[in-house]
Amino acid sequence: MFDFPKLDMRLTNISGYALSSPIDPPQNRRFSGGVRRLYKRDVVLVVVETADGLQGFATAGASSSAMREYFDGDSHGTFADIVNGTVAESLTGERIDSVTDAHDLLFETDLPDRLLYEAISAIDIALYDLRGKELGAPIYELLTDDFGSEPTTEIPLYASAGMYMEPEGYVGQAKTIEALGFFGYKYRPGIGIEGDRKTVDMLTETVGEMEIMLDVHTWWKLRDAYGERAIAELVEHATDRGAYWIEEPVEPDDREGYVALAASGAPLAGGESEETAAGLVELGRTGAVDFLQGDVRHHEGYTGCTSAIEFCRGRDVTFVPHNFGTWLGLIANAHLVAAAPEAGLLEYPIFARDPLLQTDADPGMYPFDLAFDIIHGEPSVTDGVLTVPDGPGLGLEVNLDVVEEYPFVEGPWTEFQYDE
Ligand SMILES: [Mg+2]
């Protein structure tokens, strides 16, 4: 086991704020078999305070996967209520000696598993932020002590964009992303079997050194799913064309499906939909994924992701965090990558009007202004490489004005409407 940082702090206040960033006007994206409507993006900001007046921060959601969240129900508003209710009741007034003490207290609650692991994740990150602030050290330094590793604080980013476009649309985005210096371009196909084939062809013919990744949850998730054979053929095609990875090609818990596709030599990625860190390791053990996509915001924080990273160590599977959300979440995952041995790549979601992207053609998927406004200042990104901040804890200053500026809006953030 690892030596977790030894804490000595009494928790005096735990708060969750549900926030919404409107997509105004709402967007319609046509996929194979219907239209996806996008209304807003939600975030829960979690703040943990100690008796000596320090604040630790984290962001959270109600589930580990945007798709699962849509199909399974719970809203971010519900999760903020749980933070202010059960989570606060369980931790307030407690003296925390090590981060896992907080895990143990949360395990004693009656929260259903999915919400329990979301809560553990947020509290774990906030406690690491607090511990770093106490010691005057960035989180990655605390973690490298655990790993016995040397930190790597310059992290190449791959751009995560492209949702249900004509092939020419993806190609235009990819050109912009490549010119900005990103390691790769990940996109979301799902416009139909022929269109998806054509997109792979056009993209791989267009880009130079930049890698191409496909995030293909649409292939199996939607009502008019492509079916097993078509998916196998598309995966093979993308592999032949040199795709860097193909992400979530079948249902997350379809381990046999992963293994069968991997047998053809396809580079597969997965993990974001796992509920627990143990689930990440279990997916890794199948040997079917080349890339394991844990996320400190969903897989029991740094503590949980550490077990997945230790699993990957010395094996033929690379830990590359799932990271889709705000700059706060980006930096939280960046500390993990900076410390982790054998990890060195991070997902950078591309939203409209991103202040870091100096480009005429905006490659943003949709507006998500809260993603940028949640912190003061900007992350340091040069030519597609992030420099992890070396200030105490997360090394960033949260902009608490967002609590007033982004009031929560009830209702789903996205909806899928199917053709009759
Ligand atoms: Mg994904």
Span 211-252, pLDDT tens digits: 999 999 988 887 778 999 999 999 999 999 999 999 999 999
Cβ-count burial of 368 within 10 angstroms (0-12 exposed, 13-18 middle, 19+ buried)? buried
- CA 242 – ligand 1 centroid, Å: 19
CA 216–ligand 1 middle distance (angstroms) = 8
d(C-alpha 172, C-alpha 203), whole Å = 9
Q: In angstroms, what is the span from residue 215 Cα to ligand 1's centroid?
A: 5
Q: Are 218 and 189 in contact (CB under 8 A)?
A: yes
pLDDT digits (tens, 9 = 90+) for 11-21: 999 999 999 99
- The CA 10 to ligand 1 mean position distance, Å, reads 37
CA of 322 to the centre of ligand 1 (A): 7
| Rounded-to-integer distance, Cα 154 and Cα 264, Å | 34
So what's the pLDDT on residue 399?
Answer: 98
Q: What is the pLDDT of residues 91-112, one digit of tens each?
A: 999 999 899 999 999 999 999 8
pLDDT at 67: 40
Rounded to the nearest whole angstrom, what is the distance from the C-alpha of residue 109 to the centroid of ligand 1? 30
- pTM, full prediction: 0.95
Ligand 1 centroid distance, CA of 253 (Å): 14
pLDDT of residue 416: 85
pLDDT, position 225: 81
User: Measured in angstroms, how far is the CA atom of residue 354 from the centroid of ligand 1?
Assistant: 20
Task: Find the 304 Cα to ligand 1 centroid distance in Å.
Answer: 19
133 CA from centroid of ligand 1 (Å): 32
Q: Note whether 123 and 48 are within 8 A (CB).
A: yes
94 CA distance to ligand 1 middle (Å): 36
CA of 299 to the centre of ligand 1 (A): 15
**How many angstroms is it from 250 CA to the middle of ligand 1?**
12
Q: What is the pLDDT of residues 108-151, one digit of tens each?
A: 999 988 899 999 999 999 999 999 999 999 999 999 988 989 99
The C-alpha atoms of residue 347 and residue 333 are separated, in whole angstroms, by 9
Question: pLDDT per residue over 67-89, tens digit each?
Answer: 444 444 556 668 899 999 999 99
**Quick one: pLDDT band at residue 40, thresholds 50, 70, 90?**
very high
Q: What is the mean pLDDT of residues 388-411?
A: 96
| pLDDT band, residue 66 (cuts 50/70/90) | very low
* Residue 256: partners with Cβ closer than 8 Å, 6 or more residues away: none
Q: Tokens for 264? A: 């053809």
Which domains, and CATH codes, for the chain?
Answer: 6-137+407-418 (3.30.390.10), 142-394 (3.20.20.120)
Q: What is the DSSP letter of 238?
A: H
